[in-house]
Amino acid sequence: MNTDNQAKTNPQAFTPQVNEFDQDFLYELALQPWSSVESVVNSERIITVQAGPAPLARRLVSFAGLTSALPPMHRFFLLLTICFASFATPCRAEAPAKTGFVMRWDGDWKVAGALPEKVLLLSLQGLTNRATPQLYIVHPRDFQWEITEPLFEFYQRKHGVKFTEVKTAEEALSRFAHYAKGYVIWDPAVPASMNVALTIAGLENALVVTTAQLAQMEKHRLPPIDDLRGRYTGQTDAQIYTDAVTRYWARCSRDSIMLMGGHAGAVRQPAMADWGVQQKMFFHDLSANPARHPEELALAQKLLSELRPGAIIFGWHSYGKDTEEQWTTLLSGYGHKMEGLHNLPNLSFNSQFGFTPGFKFTNHHHVARDAQLTAGAKVYLSFVQSDSIGIGVWTKPGRGKLPFAWQVTMNWTKFSPAALEYFHESATPNDYFIGGLSGPGYMYPNHIPAERFPQLMQEANELMTELDEHIMEIMDNSAADGNVGNADLTKETVDRYYAAFPNVIGFINGYGPARTRDLRDTRPMISYDYYIDPRRPRAEVAADLNELIALNTTRPYFLLVHVRESNDVNSLITITKQLDGPTEVVPVDVFLKLAASKKTYTTRYQDPADPKHFKGYK
């Protein structure tokens, strides 16, 4: 990403606000890596650092506007710090804080229950964690992201963090309310007002509260900053967000935006809100449904068009408005990336920890890139789970008993490194990591602009190299209906992948079953033949697989199986024992090498005449 161009296209994004400046802050600044744009901020001292691979003189020019806001002596020390840091080897800074606080939450996200308190605490977490990682949340074991407890233990064991438990919201306010400058009131009767309030929270260092929590604010002597009660009563979401864009969008990040959708109605789970507040993102849950919400779609398109190239859309689409397929198709058309879900917690904390000293990703490869295998006359199966490791069955019994591939959310190297290190550290020889999904983030490649594809896939290649991954997983459900229907890739898209990834062992495609297959030199592209729904009885899954084995009589038959994230490995072992032989379950890298040795599958791409559930936006 060219940071110099960013400064030219949106100079006001780098306008500094400096309220306090001291040597500790200089130390924090000096530790920041020069390979990216880093924000080192808290409620009392806010400074946005523009840096990049440019020569030192150009870096100093980038700081001209920033340094002019400082007193002369402070300006001198800042520039001195920059000079020393500029000659250092770029590296990820280890967070200086070795103490932290932890809260343990229950599973009540009801609007009429504990949601208001959780929203208050999420805004507090985002502000508290701006300069250093201080507040971490552990969620119940049945929360969708199952790794908060194991990762909490990892921080203690590998990073030496000593946590103090904070048991109540009142105790959290007593400790951290000084990071806020005031509060903003939202109205639970107007759901979109929560997102507007969260936007204000990031921009104004405010806590997000309801009427019922005003006494707490008075107790901690926090003044009102804004009151949304009554402002949006009777308005549509399109009207509400149009007003919010007019008021706040100019001051929000252009590198990312928060699609705070997901759960809708009586239960909401905005667990990712701390990250959006910390990073000053614009919050919304605009619909990408052209039939139901054309006004919201038009506004969403405006916002996407004004983000910087390769921006990240954090969060998730609203379950009450549109579909995953619609939103991912929409953002892919602008060359942006999706990172979800809306309830992914603790990013404001996780993003500030790097990898431990000396750590290097080492995958459990079973074959070398240039290995040549020979397939026998049997059925070869391989199991793959996407949907991010943290949502899945990593913490459930049985992992390691079968060869199993795990799709890694590669961008976590940037905003959740410790989680990736935890997964690699705890991997068994049967756990194998692959890149995805479709690129350096979740995207639908049939809709990525041709001019954006090479740069995005270069980023993906770099991430895969860092993560020691040899396989790219692709998914494009833009024409599908959920997990069924047309999930194939066009020939143009397949051509682009083969050109962009010359060093991979191969590609896998789909989510539900798909039909795209190819073999070029020694790199096969194989689509899933089966999708295991966790709700489907295991005996019926085994019967389905046996039917596929009976229908595909040519041997070898390469049967690639996608495992939905909440399946457990023990149940898969039960299924494999019921299959008609000869069958063999192999790691996915071995699977692709075998598929390269004997092409018993037909080359096929998406046919323009194939039915499409959704035809896109252009």
- Residue with the larger pLDDT of the pair 144 and 68: 144
Same domain, 277 and 411: no
Please report the pLDDT score of residue 566 as a whole number: 74
**Which has the minimum average pLDDT: 29-38, 123-132, 172-181, 439-448?**
29-38
pLDDT-derived band at 73 (thresholds 50, 70, 90) equals low
pLDDT-derived band at 71 (thresholds 50, 70, 90) equals low
Tell me what percent of the residues of the chain surpass a pLDDT of 90: 78
Which one-letter DSSP state was computed for residue 43? S
pLDDT digit string (tens) for 368-388? Answer: 999 999 999 999 999 999 877
- Asked if residue 374 is part of any domain, the answer here is no
Q: Are 613 and 483 in contact (CB under 8 A)?
A: no
Q: What are the angstrom distances between the C-alpha of 3 and each of 11, 303, 348, 556?
A: 11, 20, 22, 51
Q: Is 193 helix (H, G, I), strand (E, B) or coil?
A: helix
Query: In the β-sheet with 312-318, what is the strand arrangement from edge to edge?
Result: 283-284, 256-262, 312-318, 337-339
Same domain, 141 and 284: yes
pLDDT digit string (tens) for 467-505? Answer: 999 999 999 999 998 888 999 999 999 999 999 999 999
pLDDT digit string (tens) for 202-239? Answer: 999 999 999 999 999 999 999 999 999 999 999 999 99
Please report the pLDDT score of residue 344 as a whole number: 96
Q: Which pairs with CB-CB distance under 8 Å and at least 24 residues apart come from 497-503?
A: 497/445, 497/457, 497/472, 497/525, 498/523, 500/453, 500/454, 500/457, 500/458, 500/460, 500/461, 501/457, 501/460, 501/461, 501/472, 503/369, 503/461, 503/470
Alpha carbon distance 108, 120 (integer Å): 14
Q: Are 417 and 355 in contact (CB under 8 A)?
A: yes
pLDDT at 79 over 70: no
Secondary structure in 3-state letters for 464-505 = HHHCCCCEEEECCCCEEECCEEECCCCHHHHHHHHHHCCCCC
Same domain, 147 and 232: yes
pLDDT at 28 over 50: no
Pairing of strands 224-227, 404-407: unpaired
pLDDT at 427 over 50: yes
Please report the pLDDT score of residue 424 as a whole number: 96
Q: What is the CATH number of the domain that holds 536?
A: 3.20.20.490
pLDDT-derived band at 534 (thresholds 50, 70, 90) equals confident
pLDDT at 142 over 50: yes
- Asked if residue 417 is part of any domain, the answer here is yes
Same domain, 249 and 112: yes
Structural domain of residue 244, as residue ranges?
Answer: 99-350
Query: How confident is the model over 78-94, as a mean pLDDT?
Result: 43
List b or e across 519-556, with b for residues whose CB sees 16 or more CB atoms inside 10 angstroms: beeebbbbbbbbbbeeeeeeeebbebbbebbeebeeeb
**Nearest one of 460, 468, 469, 463 to 506, comparing CA atoms:** 469
Same domain, 18 and 105: no
Please report the pLDDT score of residue 392 as a whole number: 65
Same domain, 71 and 131: no
pLDDT at 49 over 50: no
Query: How confident is the model over 6-34, as a mean pLDDT?
Result: 36
**Nearest one of 411, 442, 346, 281 to 143, comparing CA atoms:** 346
Phi, psi angles (nearest 5°) of residue 399: -60, 130
Please report the pLDDT score of residue 7 as a whole number: 36
Same domain, 398 and 269: no
- Asked if residue 606 is part of any domain, the answer here is no
- Asked if residue 372 is part of any domain, the answer here is no
pLDDT-derived band at 190 (thresholds 50, 70, 90) equals very high
Four-residue CA torsion sign, 601, 607, 611, 614: positive
pLDDT at 126 over 80: yes
Same domain, 120 and 18: no
- Asked if residue 579 is part of any domain, the answer here is yes
Residue 516 parent element (H or E): none
Cα of first residue to Cα of last residue in the chain, in angstroms, is: 27
Q: What are the angstrom distances between the C-alpha of 244 and each of 50, 196, 303, 307, 565?
A: 27, 6, 12, 16, 36
Could you tell me which residues come within 8 angstroms of residue 17 by beta carbon, excluding any fewer than 6 positions away? 46, 47, 69
Same domain, 573 and 469: yes
Tokens found for residue 7: 């400064």
Query: How confident is the model over 381-396, as a mean pLDDT?
Result: 81
Alpha carbon distance 246, 252 (integer Å): 11
Alpha carbon distance 520, 386 (integer Å): 25
pTM (2 decimals)? 0.85
Please report the pLDDT score of residue 396 as a whole number: 82
Please report the pLDDT score of residue 455 as a whole number: 97
- Asked if residue 618 is part of any domain, the answer here is no
pLDDT at 310 over 90: yes
The count of structural domains within the chain is 3
Please report the pLDDT score of residue 389 as a whole number: 75
Please report how the helices 569-576 and 538-551 are oriented relative to each other, as an axis angle in degrees rounded to 10. 50
- Asked if residue 603 is part of any domain, the answer here is no
Same domain, 338 and 206: yes
Average predicted confidence (pLDDT) for the chain? 87
The burial of 126, by beta-carbon neighbours within 10 Å (0-12 exposed, 13-18 middle, 19 or more buried), is given as: buried
Same domain, 273 and 385: no
Could you tell me which residues come within 8 angstroms of residue 335 by beta carbon, excluding any fewer than 6 positions away? 309, 310, 448, 449, 452, 456
- Asked if residue 617 is part of any domain, the answer here is no
Same domain, 113 and 13: no
Please report the pLDDT score of residue 584 as a whole number: 98
Q: Cβ atoms within 10 A of the Cβ of 265, count?
A: 11
Q: Cβ atoms within 10 A of the Cβ of 11, count?
A: 11
